[in-house]
Structure 1
Amino acid sequence: MYKIKNSIKKSLEFIKDGVRSSKSVILANVIILFIMAPLMVTVTRFILKMGDIPYLSYDTVGLIVFHHPVVLCLLIMMLFLLVFTIYFEYTFLLLTMYFVKNKVAISLRQLAKETIFQMKKLKISNFLFFLCYFILLSPIGAIRFHSDLLSKFKIPIFIVDFIFENRVIFVVLFILAYVSLIVVAIRLMFTLPLMIFKDYTFKQASQTSWRLTKKHFKSISTQFILVMSSIAIIALVINGLLIGLQEMVDTYYQSSSFYVAIMLLTLLQFNWVFNLVLTTIGIFFITISYLDKLGYLPNTNDMFPLINRTTFKKVTWPQRIIFTLGGIWLIISVLSYNYLFLTQPSIHRPLTISHRGVDNGNHVQNSIEALEMTSKKTRPNFIEMDVQETKDKEFIVMHDFKLNHLVQQKGRPNEFTLKELQHMTAKENGQQAHLVSFDDYLKRAKELDQKLLIEIKATKQDSPDMVERFIKKYYDTIKEEGHEIQSLSFDVVKELKEKKPDLYVGYIMPFTLAGPPEGDMDFYSVEYTTLTKNLVQSMHNQEKKVYVWTLNDTDTINRMIFYGVDGVITDNMTLLNSVLSRNIKETTYADKLLYFLVGIG
C-alpha cells in the first residue's frame, strides 16, 4: 500500500513538474513538427525523385538497394539525420527534466546551449546505441518518450489483422515479442542518461542500467503505468466533457452550435497539446527520479558549473512586439483552421464498393454466387474483386496467394492451370463455391450490369508479359462496361497507364514513409487507419480520387465521409447503404469534434 501511495504522490509531482517544463517541451515539439519533419520529408522526396523512384515503402527497398546506390547512401544519411535529430530532442528534454528536478531556473537559450554542448561530446557508441534503441522501439511505440518523428512509424491495422487472422501461434509469438521489447526497453532505460550525465562508456552504462533495473523493475513499471494512465484518464475525461457539452448544445441550442464548436475545438486542441507535453516528459520524469533516488544523478554545480551564473536578459520592446505578433498570428491560424474544419465537410455521396463481392459474409468471397447476391440486393457502384495469373497464363478470380486458407489445398494459384483451379472448391462463411475464371466473372457481371473494381494481384512468378496480355484480352470489355482497375504493384499501375492511358487505374497504398507516390494513377486506394483529412485534401490537390478500405462500422464510415473520400470499400454493403441513406449534412458538430480527435490520435 505504501508503494502505491508513493507512486501516486510521484505521479502528482510529475504533473506539477510537467506544467513547469511545458515551455521547453512545446518548443522542442514545434521545431520537430513544423520544421524538421516537413524538411526531412521534402528532402527525402527530392532524393527519391533523383533516382526516379516514386515512393518509399517496403516494396521499393530492393530496387533502391540493388539499383540505386547513390539514393541508398543519401537515404542512409537521412536516417542518421533523423536519429541525430531525435537524439538532440531526447537530450534537450532529458536536460529539461534534470533542471526541473533540481529546481534550477534556466532560460531556453541556455538550455539549448547546454544541449549542444552535450551533443559535442557525442560518441559513436552513444549514437549507435540510440540508433538500435530507436529501431527497437519504433515498431511498438509503447515504452518510449513521445516524439513527433517517432510517431510517424506505426503499423497499419490491416497488417496486424493479417498476422492475427486464424493464426493463434502468431498471436502468442507477437504478444511474447511485444512484452520482451518492453522489458528490454525498461532494462536499458538508464543507459543513455548515464552516458550523458556520467560520461560512462556504452558497456559501463548498459551494465549499470541492467543491474539497477533488475532490482527496481516492478516499481519502475508501476510508476510508468500510473503516470501514463493518469495522463490518459485526464485527457479522456476532459475530451468527453467537451464533446458531451457540444452534443447538448447541438440538441438544445442549435443557433449557437457553430460558435460553441469553434471554442470547444480550440479547447480540445489545447487539451491535446497539454496531453502531448505530459506524455513527452513522462519517461524523463521516471528516469530522472530513479537516477536521483539511486544516487546516479550528478550535482548541478559539478556538471554545469556556469549554470548558476546565468542571467536572464530583460525582454526588449522589439522582442515583445515579435512575441505579441506571433501570438496573434497563432490565434488567427488556429481559429481559421477550426473555422474551415467545421464548415467544409464533404457533402458528396462516395462510391459504394463491395470488398471481394461479399455483403456481411453472404457467401464465399470472389465467387459468382456472392457477386449475384450482393449485386441484386445492395446494388453497389462497384464490386471489388481480385485477379491472379495461372500456370497456363490465364486469369483466376482469387485473393490469397496461397490456396490453403479457402481451398485446403497446398500450393499457389500460379502453380495450377485454370482448368485445375476451376475444379477446386472454396469454403467460407458456411458456404462453398467453385473457383471461377475471370472470363466467367466478367460475363456474369455484364449480365447483371454490375461494374467491377478489378485488383490485379501481381507476384514475382508472373510472366513478363502478364499486363500486356491482360490488356489485349480484356481492354475492350473493361472500357465498354466502365470497370476500374487497381493494384498494390506500382509497376503494374505504371504499365497499365503507359500502355492504355484511358484506363481508370488506382494504386493501392498500404503505407509510405514520405507521402503519396507521384504518378499517372487516377486514384489512391488507402487503408483507413493511415488516412487523415489533410492527406485526403493533399491527394485531391493532385486531382486524384481517394478510395478507402475496409470500412465495416458506422463511426468509421461517417468519419471517412467527413474527410471527403470518393469511394468506400466495405465487407458490409447493407450497413454502408444504411449509413448513406441519411443526409450527409446531418453530421453534428459533436461528431466533427470527435472526428478531429480520432484524426490526430
Structure 2
Amino acid sequence: MKKQRLGLRKIYHNLDKILLLLFLIFMVMEVIWIPLTSFGADWLLQQTGARYLSYSNLGQVFLSKPLITAAFIGLFLANLFLAYLQIGTIFIGIYLLLNPQTNSIRGFLGQIFTRLRVLVKNFRLSKAFFCLLYVGFLFPFLKGLLKIHYFKKILLPEFIQTYLLQQPLLALALLCLALLLFYLAVRWVYALPQLFFEEKRVGEALAYSWKKTSWKFWQTSWQLGWILLKSTIFFYFWGFLILLIQNIADDFPQAWSFFIALINFVLLKILDYQAMIYFMLLFIAFLTDSSLPDFQQKHRHRWVRVVILFLSFLFFGLEGLLYISQPAEKPPLLISHRGVSGENGVQNTIPALEKTARLKPDLVEMDVQETADKQFVMMHDANLKSLAGLDARPQDLTLADLTRLTLHENGHEAPLASLNAYLQRADQLGQKLLIEIKTSSKDSPDMMERFLKAYGPYIISRGHQMHSLDYKVVQSVRKYSSKIPVYFILPYNTIFPQTSATGYTMEYSSLDQNFMFKLWLQNKQAYAWTVNSQSAIRQSLLLGVNGIITDELSEVKEAIQEDQEDRDYSSILEKQLWYHVAIF
C-alpha cells in the first residue's frame, strides 16, 4: 500500500499540470471542435441534396457532386489530423509529467507547445493512419479511454457481431482476426513513443517495436494487462466510494442530498478523466521505462489549480444540474422484436404473437413483404430457406402458396401468416404494432400506394406505427398521412439525418449523447434495437431513448420498472458510472 499511496501523492503534487492538460485538450475538443465539425458535416450533407447517409445511398451521395465529396474528404482528413494531434498532445503531456525537470506550469506549457510544433512539422498521413489503425482496431480500449470522438465511431454494430458469431466458419475467422490484432497490438506497442517522442517514421517505429518485443510477447502482454487491471481498480474504487457517499446522503433532507449529488456528479466526471490520466501515466512510464517525479506543489501555482477546478466544476456542474434535476422521464416504449420474446415461438407468426401479447408490450414489431400476386405476407428474411426450408423469395410465390408453408424456429412450428390474418388477431388481442415494410427489387412499382390505400385507415384507427430501412417507404407514409408515426431505420450512426421521419430506429451500440441531443433539438424520437443484454439496456435507458426493441421482453420490462421506481440520486449517479464503463 505504501507504493500505491506514493503514486497517488505524486498525482496530487502534479495535479495542477494534469488538470491544465485535461482542460486544454477536452474543453477545446468537446466545446468547440466537435460541435463545429458536426455542424459542418450536416451542412455538407444538405448540399448534396441527400437527407441521410447510409449504406444504401453512399454511391449516390459521394458521386453526385465532386466538390462536396472533396469537402467531405477534407473534413475527414482534418478530423484525422486533429485526432492524431489530440493523441499526440496526451502522450506528450503525460511524458513531460514524467520528466523531473518539468516543474513549473510555464515550463510545462512551453515544452508542450514546442513539441507540438515539431509534431505538426513532421506530420505525415502515414502516422495519422497508423494511429487510426492502432487506437481504432489494434488497441480499441484507447479510443474510449482517450475520448477520441471520431475514433469511437469505429465499431462493428452488435447485430453484425451476432450474425458473424452464429456462423461457425465466420466466427472462427473473427476469432483468428481478433488474435492477430491482439498480437500486432502487443508487438507494435513501442512504436507509439517512437512516433511521438523520437519523431521516427512509421516504418522505423514499427521495426524498433518489433525488435524490442522479440521473444517478449507474453511478458509484454502481462505487463499491459496489469496496467489495465490497476487502472480499472482505480476507477471502480473511487467510483463506488462516491456512490456509497451518495447512498448515505440520500437520507438527508432533499436540498442537501441534491447538492451532494451535484458535487458527486462533478466528481464522477473528473474521475473519468483522472482514470484516463492514471492509465496513461502507467502506460507511458512502462513504454519509456520512467516514473512520475515527486516534488511539492509550489504555492504560487495553487491559483492555477483553483481556477481550473472552478472551471471544471462550473462546466460539469451545469451538465449535472440538467441531468440530476430533470423530472422522472416518460419510460421508453417496450417493443417486441419480430413478434417474439425469449424464443417463445416462430418469429412473425400468430401463435408467437398470442404468447408475446400476454407480456403486454407497448408495441409488437413485425415484418411485411409483398407476394407475387401483390398481396402481403409476414416474413423478415429475404429468402424462405432458413425458416421454411424452401430456397425462394416471398416475392416469387403467391399468398396462397406462402400461407400453406410451415415455419420452424426455436423448437416451434407455425404456419406462415398473411398480413390480414396477423392484423385481425392483433386487433382481437388489443395489441398495437410497429409494422416494418421490407422492400426488394422484385416489389411492384405501386406497392406502397396499394399498401397504404388498403391498410392506411386501419393503421390510423388502431394507433399502429411503421418503420423501414427504405426511405422511400418513409416518404410514402409521410405523403399519405401525418397521423401515422413512421421511423427510418438506420443501422449505423454517422452524419445526423435530416428527414421527414417521426424519428429513427437505431442500432443501439452506435447511439451516443450527441445524436440524442440533436434529436431533442428537432423534437424527434429514437427507438433502439436490438437491446438484449444488461449493458445494452443500461446504455439505452441512460441515453433516454423513446423505445426499446428487444428479444427479451421480460428482462427489459423489469429494468424499465426498476428505472422508474428507483429515482433516488444514488441510482441516477450509478447509471452515469456504468455508462462511462460501457463506452470503454
Q: Scaled by the length of structure 1, what TM-score is found?
A: 0.82
CA distances 1:477-510 after superposition (whole Å, capped 9, x unpaired): 2223222111123333233323444432112233
C-alpha distance in 1 between matches for 2:547 and 2:408: 29
Matched, 1:72 2:72: no
Q: Which residue of 2 aligns with 1:407?
A: 388
Correspondence 1:170-249 to 2 at 5 A: 170-191=170-191, 193-194=193-194, 198=198, 200-249=200-249
Q: Which residue of 1 aligns with 2:379?
A: 398
Matched, 1:570 2:571: no
Deviation at 1:533, TM superposition (A): 5.9
C-alpha distance in 2 between matches for 1:367 and 1:27: 57
C-alpha distance in 1 between matches for 2:192 and 2:129: 11
CA distances 1:216-246 after superposition (whole Å, capped 9, x unpaired): 3333222211111100111112212222333
Deviation at 1:75, TM superposition (A): 1.4
Correspondence 1:399-438 to 2 at 5 A: 399-438=380-419
Structure 2 residues not aligned, in runs of 5+: 292-297
Q: What amino acid sits opposite 2:461 in the alignment? A: E
C-alpha distance in 2 between matches for 1:55 and 1:523: 13
Match among 493, 501, 525 for residue 512 of structure 1: 493
On the 8 A contact 1:15/1:278 being kept in 2, the answer is: no
Deviation at 1:560, TM superposition (A): 4.6
Match among 573, 576, 583 for residue 596 of structure 1: 576
Matched, 1:525 2:505: yes
Structure 1 residues not aligned, in runs of 5+: 1-7, 293-311
Correspondence 1:160-559 to 2 at 5 A: 160-164=161-165, 166-191=166-191, 193-194=193-194, 198=198, 200-250=200-250, 256-280=256-280, 283-289=283-289, 328-375=310-357, 377-515=358-496, 517-531=497-511, 535-552=515-532
CA distances 1:126-167 after superposition (whole Å, capped 9, x unpaired): 422431551464246536463423223333333322322x32
Q: What amino acid sits opposite 1:595 in the alignment? A: K
Matched, 1:142 2:123: no
On the 8 A contact 1:552/1:572 being kept in 2, the answer is: yes
On the 8 A contact 2:345/2:351 being kept in 1, the answer is: yes
CA distances 1:94-123 after superposition (whole Å, capped 9, x unpaired): 33344344423133144113211331123x
How many residues end up aligned between the 2 structures? 563
- Shift of the 100–182 alpha-carbon distance from structure 1 to 2, 3 Å rule, reads same
- Shift of the 247–18 alpha-carbon distance from structure 1 to 2, 3 Å rule, reads closer
Q: Which residue of 2 aligns with 1:42?
A: 39
On the 8 A contact 1:14/1:282 being kept in 2, the answer is: no
C-alpha distance in 1 between matches for 2:50 and 2:454: 30
CA distances 1:246-295 after superposition (whole Å, capped 9, x unpaired): 334446887853333223222222211201223345544433339x9xxx
- Shift of the 288–390 alpha-carbon distance from structure 1 to 2, 3 Å rule, reads farther
Deviation at 1:200, TM superposition (A): 4.5
Q: What amino acid sits opposite 1:163 in the alignment? A: L
| Alpha-carbon RMSD | 3.6
C-alpha distance in 2 between matches for 1:246 and 1:198: 46
- Shift of the 462–73 alpha-carbon distance from structure 1 to 2, 3 Å rule, reads farther
Match among 81, 84, 94 for residue 84 of structure 1: 81
C-alpha distance in 2 between matches for 1:381 and 1:129: 51
C-alpha distance in 2 between matches for 1:58 and 1:11: 52
Q: Which residue of 2 aligns with 1:309?
A: none
- Shift of the 587–13 alpha-carbon distance from structure 1 to 2, 3 Å rule, reads closer
232-241 or 522-531: bigger deviation: 522-531
Q: Which residue of 2 aligns with 1:306?
A: none
On the 8 A contact 1:142/1:182 being kept in 2, the answer is: no
268-277 or 495-504: bigger deviation: 495-504
10-19 or 244-253: bigger deviation: 10-19
Percent identical pairs in the alignment equals 27
On the 8 A contact 1:388/1:395 being kept in 2, the answer is: yes
279-288 or 338-347: bigger deviation: 279-288
Q: What amino acid sits opposite 2:154 in the alignment? A: F
C-alpha distance in 1 between matches for 2:60 and 2:9: 48
CA distances 1:389-433 after superposition (whole Å, capped 9, x unpaired): 334443221122333432333344344443333232222232111
Match among 128, 131, 135 for residue 130 of structure 1: 128
On the 8 A contact 1:345/1:562 being kept in 2, the answer is: no
Q: Which residue of 1 aligns with 2:295?
A: none
C-alpha distance in 1 between matches for 2:557 and 2:7: 52
- Shift of the 222–349 alpha-carbon distance from structure 1 to 2, 3 Å rule, reads closer
Aligned residue for 2:368, secondary structure, equals strand
Aligned residue for 2:391, secondary structure, equals coil
- Shift of the 430–348 alpha-carbon distance from structure 1 to 2, 3 Å rule, reads same
On the 8 A contact 1:246/1:261 being kept in 2, the answer is: yes
Aligned residue for 2:81, secondary structure, equals helix
Deviation at 1:460, TM superposition (A): 4.5
